[in-house]
Structure 1
């Protein structure tokens, strides 16, 4: 089977033609970026002496951020709507925050490879960090798909820019907090 990359990158954003709730998609993308940046920031200061704690640090950062994000978004939504949220709205807030939690999956699996001896700890950490920057950069392609736009050189430059901004944010966070 031959890959048709232009067709792959320009396929419809969803299987149906139903309109996309832009507000909900924006919240999920925001949570995705936020989760990935925080997980990347948690990964960077992990030292060789902490290799077994690396997974706990990554999962802990994602889980605590996930819970804080759900709480903050629910309170904000309650204020915007001027009423208590329904069960369905609370479930929606939970679902919109899941990208923060899932941000920890890829680096945790990669760090597990060091824990079981498949990779050297430093190699696993570098691969996990690179994977997180790649995930952040890939959001420009997701946004193009959601807007039903074709991938252009601008999309590629946006990916590079997102990766650079994410790396800068992480460097600042690590410098100021660790």
Structure 2
């Protein structure tokens, strides 16, 4: 079975979900240092699920607005599929926090590892974008990767400053 390559609109939607999900998961992780493992796990999983639902809903409303009509069932399912990267943003961090819950590593170490994982995912998306454009990664890709991760960290800082 062969699959058609993603259209720029589809991969842009997935990349948007990916970045958005990772930023919100990172925002959820940072303030969890003085909490229980169970609470930390629920916060990470809850952030992933609630952000997925909100993102899929918002994208569906936007797509309906752009098309000037109600979405078909297939289009709604496509929006859910395109929002899945939000869920994947929480998957590894939840597993790492779970390792802390099992006593395999200290919770503060688990949270730090999960935060590093998320920042690395954010930085790494520039390589995916470069490949999707049919280009080869270069020094500019690395610079964009570093810049993207720093901007994401700044956004997390602003969100935490304004909401916590």
* TM-score between the two structures when normalised by the length of structure 1: 0.88
* 8 Å contact kept, 1:140–1:159: yes
* 8 Å contact kept, 1:48–1:121: no
1:48-70 Cα offsets, whole Å, 9 max, x none, are: 33332111001111111111111
Distance 1:149 1:159 in 2: 15
SS at match of 2:31: coil
110, 119, 122: which is aligned to 1:124?
110
In structure 2, relative to structure 1, the CA distance for the partners of 1:17 and 1:111 (3 Å cut) is closer
Deviation (angstroms), 1:18:
4.6
SS at match of 1:52: helix
Distance 1:77 1:158 in 2: 29
Matched residue, 1:163: 149
81, 88, 97: which is aligned to 1:111?
97
Matched residue, 1:41: 27
**Which fold has the larger relative contact order, with Cα–Cα distance below 8 Å and residues 6 or more apart in sequence?**
1
Matched residue, 2:54: 68
Residues 18-57 of structure 1 aligned to structure 2 (within 5 Å): 18-57=4-43
Matched residue, 1:134: 120
User: Which residues of structure 2 form unaligned runs of 5+?
Assistant: none
Q: Report the structure, 1 or 2, having the larger helix content.
A: 2
Deviation (angstroms), 1:17:
9.2
Distance 1:71 1:152 in 2: 36
Q: How many residues align?
A: 163
In structure 2, relative to structure 1, the CA distance for the partners of 1:55 and 1:17 (3 Å cut) is closer
Larger radius of gyration: 1
